Structure 1
Amino acid sequence: MVRPLRALVPEDPPAFLAALRDALAGNGPALMPMPTGGGMVLEDVPIRVAVVIETSGSTGTPKRVMLATNALLAGAAASAVALGGTGQWLLALPVHYIAGVQVLVRSIAADTNPLVLPPGHFDPVDFLRLAETMTEPLRFTALVPVQLARLLDAADDPALLAVLRRFTAILVGGQAIRPDLIARAAELNVPVVRTYGSSETAGGCIYNGVPIGDTLVRVVDGQLELSGSVLAEGYLGDETRTSERFLVEHGVRWYRTGDLGEIDPITARVTVLGRADNVIISGGEKVSLDAVEGIVRSCPGFEQAVVIGADDDEWGQVPVIVMPGKTGAVMDLEGVAAFVVPILGRAARPGRIMVVTVIPLLSSGKPDRLALAILAKRR
């Protein structure tokens, strides 16, 4: 059995919430929230699918992730248990992101009214005014790292800091979170929860390194694989990619994340090390650019740096540090290399620093590494 799929632009939050409630209950079409192009009726999807999330990575290749009602509700239930109960949510993310959809799903499951921040530029003052109207004892929101950074930068306002501290939990995910942000939040007693997950797992399914709900994690050939009730059905109209990413082993279905990671043998905590495809060969050795970037960002003044790979006559490829405009960096290349080489080895030594006016971003808010790599070839 199938049901129609409707593309919908969530311009009217109450109407979209009602449509989402119907989709979850099976009383309406499945929904594919989009930033533009709403109203279209697309191809049919399996009857159990309630939401389709369209994503694109650094390659720009789109994926349409099919999520069943059970997966979305399983994610909401696991989150509620991990966070200590249900409550009121403040929506500060676009609804065409899985994290935005899950804020609404959690609100529907909790039978509470979500507050919705107007779309556009994220303003800490607007966030403060909306958060001050929250009424439930348990209060939650979900942010990406840049939003958290802006709130912490403005936390010298006592009213904003008080509001941030009243949240039961502020979920932060979508991309790697700089250690200095986590440290600043802890110093200010702002309750941040680091989340890891994707559209393929109905949103975050690992909180602060700990799997939630019935999520299972394993490492195969250095890559993280996830299993549990939150897994997507697959990719709409792409059986090849579905079979590559979702596999069944001994009756258990697993999703290959494409992320490198490890599991602590004592604490069982999960650590994400970076994308498996964000690796270069430098001097014959594999070098994770995400690992280099993590160390570079720990250097004073380099918190906003992005590390990409570039061709090199001697080493084949080398890491290149990209810095946005005037960042206040006080270290030269040799100074940064002194941090990187002792940890990752000589092959990981950055070859140069490239300064750009602004870091180009994807629609998800992540750095557009492909655009930066093209720019690096021209310089």
Structure 2
Amino acid sequence: MTYARLDTGAARAIADALAGRVAGIAVDTSGSTGRPREVLVSGEAIRAGVSLSSRRLGGDAHQLLALPPERIGGALVIARATVAGTALVRMPMGPFTAAGFAAAARSLPSGPRQVSLVPTQVRRLLADPEGRDALAGFHAVLVGGAALPERDAPSNIVRTYGMSETAGGCVYDGLALDGVGLRIADDGRVMISGPTLADGYADGHGADFVEIDGERWFRTSDLGELHDGRLTVHGRADHVINTGGVKVHPQRIELALERAGAAAAAVVGLPDPEWGERVVAVVEDGPDDAALAAAVADLPPYARPRRIVHVDAVPRTAGGKIDRPAARALASEEDR
């Protein structure tokens, strides 16, 4: 059987997967270890994720869709409503605003309500009285995609951890959902097992899906620790930039800048109070900023450098590779 792609119609793809008319859904990863890859998630894994989430949260609920439906987070919102037969209300197209969120929330029926958000959306809502009031009306607010500070977080926030390969969030507030296994690999990477694991990748290369003592595990690219069964994720094991819950690939931006005439470019993430990280480019012997901005104009807005720092030479390691910590330090100096 085939896997239905979310980007050709998420609601239909999920309904077909849950009904068994297709094997499952095909969803692109956020690509934290390189280029996005197409993950094949079975209908059984989707249903398991929905069931385990409902059990942990105390039952089914009406859903507000505020995430892109072609990504796993938004897809699971649709799946929860589909399985439970509850209402699904979609946020209006366009920029995310507190007023738009509040209006969408008001259109939900009475009863338990859930919404999935990224941290940047939560921060914007908490900064607006109307948004804060609307957020308080939800039984559970699932927040994934990036770290969310403890301070000022409402009591209905549920911090989730997962990815496309695990059919979305399968760890809530550090604790695995029932039937989901957690372990830490020798290299410090988080490993996950259980009924929500994807079938694999469309390209057939699945080295990170491994079998240990007869059980199938997925080896993530995140570093973490387990203490008394509670998972703490320390961050990515690579250099991908996480801005507003979206993972940005430096190499793609660097190539665009170099095609525009830069001798070399190093794209790094610097701390940002709203977005978590902001994209900054360190450029060697490049053209002016206008030409560089034009070179990245076709990239998504979140991937375009917020700032360009011109240097005589992009720092490199002894082996000739970009020294990203040194490049980040240069960018930080110029940012002061």
The answer to whether residue 311 in structure 2 is matched with residue 311 in structure 1 is no
TM-score (norm 2): 0.72
- Match of 2:69, as an amino acid? V
CA distance in 2, matches of 1:268, 1:162: 34
Q: Is the 8 A contact 2:25 2:41 kept in 1?
A: yes
CA distance in 2, matches of 1:308, 1:229: 41
The answer to whether residue 314 in structure 2 is matched with residue 353 in structure 1 is no
CA distance in 2, matches of 1:270, 1:307: 31
Percent pairwise identity: 38
What are the Cα deviations for residues 234-269 of structure 1, in whole angstroms up to 9, with x where unaligned? 001x22x31x110112210000001111101xx321
Shift of 1:141: 0.3
CA distance in 1, matches of 2:325, 2:211: 37
The 5 A counterparts of 1:134-173 are 134-154=108-128, 157=129, 159-173=130-144
Residues 143/321 of structure 1: CA separation in 2 closer, same or farther (3 Å cut): farther
Alignment partner, residue 39 of structure 1: none
What are the Cα deviations for residues 34-65 of structure 1, in whole angstroms up to 9, with x where unaligned? xxxxxxxxxxxxxxx21110225256523110
CA distance in 2, matches of 1:230, 1:133: 31
Alignment partner, residue 260 of structure 1: 223
The 5 A counterparts of 1:70-149 are 70-149=44-123
- Match of 1:172, as an amino acid? V
SS at 1:131 equivalent: helix
The 5 A counterparts of 1:285-300 are 297=271
Q: Is the 8 A contact 1:202 1:230 kept in 2?
A: yes
CA distance in 2, matches of 1:162, 1:120: 22
Instruction: Name the count of aligned residue pairs.
Output: 274
- Match of 1:254, as an amino acid? W
Residues 268/6 of structure 1: CA separation in 2 closer, same or farther (3 Å cut): closer
The answer to whether residue 180 in structure 2 is matched with residue 184 in structure 1 is no
Residues 4/109 of structure 1: CA separation in 2 closer, same or farther (3 Å cut): closer
Shift of 1:224: 0.7
Alignment root-mean-square deviation, CA: 3.2
SS at 2:332 equivalent: strand
Shift of 1:160: 3.2
CA distance in 1, matches of 2:331, 2:20: 55
Select which of 266, 271, 289 maps to 2:232: 271
SS at 1:125 equivalent: helix
CA distance in 1, matches of 2:136, 2:12: 31
Residues 152/4 of structure 1: CA separation in 2 closer, same or farther (3 Å cut): closer
The 5 A counterparts of 1:54-69 are 54-57=28-31, 61-69=35-43
What are the Cα deviations for residues 310-368 of structure 1, in whole angstroms up to 9, with x where unaligned? 73689x9462686xxxxxxxxxxxxxxxxxxxxxxxxxxx4551668xxxxxxxxxxxx
Shift of 1:150: 1.1
Residues 94/312 of structure 1: CA separation in 2 closer, same or farther (3 Å cut): same
Residues 352/71 of structure 1: CA separation in 2 closer, same or farther (3 Å cut): same
Unpaired runs of 5+ in structure 2? 241-267, 283-313
Q: Is the 8 A contact 2:3 2:25 kept in 1?
A: no
CA distance in 2, matches of 1:233, 1:103: 20
The answer to whether residue 185 in structure 2 is matched with residue 215 in structure 1 is no
Residues 171/56 of structure 1: CA separation in 2 closer, same or farther (3 Å cut): closer
Unpaired runs of 5+ in structure 1? 11-15, 31-48, 280-292, 323-349, 357-379
Residues 301/55 of structure 1: CA separation in 2 closer, same or farther (3 Å cut): closer
Shift of 1:162: 2.5
- Match of 1:9, as an amino acid? T
Select which of 24, 28, 32 maps to 2:18: 24
CA distance in 2, matches of 1:311, 1:89: 48
Shift of 1:3: 3.3
CA distance in 1, matches of 2:281, 2:231: 25
Residues 86/58 of structure 1: CA separation in 2 closer, same or farther (3 Å cut): closer
- Match of 1:319, as an amino acid? P
TM-score (norm 1): 0.64
Q: Which has the higher contact order (CA 8 A, sep 6+)?
A: 2
Q: Is the 8 A contact 1:306 1:321 kept in 2?
A: no
CA distance in 1, matches of 2:173, 2:3: 37
CA distance in 2, matches of 1:303, 1:21: 34
CA distance in 1, matches of 2:121, 2:99: 12
- Match of 2:315, as an amino acid? D
What are the Cα deviations for residues 56-84 of structure 1, in whole angstroms up to 9, with x where unaligned? 52565231100111100110011111111
SS at 1:184 equivalent: coil
